Amino acid sequence: MFSQTGRAMAEHTLGHADESRAALDDLTAKYAQIAAYQIAQVQAWRGDKDQAFEWLRRAHAQRDGGLGIAKADPQIASLRQDARWPALLKSLGLPE
């Protein structure tokens, strides 16, 4: 799952939208039940904030350990300026 996460982000950064989408689709199809946080990372990296927040909510429901790094994770830094960020932190029991 981690290689698919990295591939989806790298392909996006390289401007390969189709390849990025394919890697994300594969990640989602194979690992949605155990990798919600990683899917959120990819969605945030690709600029799809709505999907990123949806997957962060799923990660919370799944008790995904990745949420422990959410405040410092550079891969989801784009979400920190979003109005939904404080509510997410509150739902996780984390201070702003």
Residue range 39-91, pLDDT digits in tens: 999 999 999 999 999 999 999 999 999 898 998 999 999 999 999 999 999 98
The answer to whether the beta carbons of residues 58 and 36 sit under 8 Å apart is yes
Q: Are 43 and 52 in contact (CB under 8 A)?
A: yes
- What is the C-alpha to C-alpha distance for residues 68 and 72, in angstroms, rounded to an integer? 9
**Contact call for residues 92 and 70 (beta carbons, < 8 A):** yes
pLDDT digits (tens, 9 = 90+) for 2-38: 999 999 999 999 999 999 999 999 999 999 999 999 9
Residue 66, domain extent: 2-92
Domain count along the chain: 1
| Angle of CA points 9, 60, 54, to nearest 5° | 55
Instruction: Count other C-beta atoms under 10 Å from residue 87's C-beta.
Output: 11
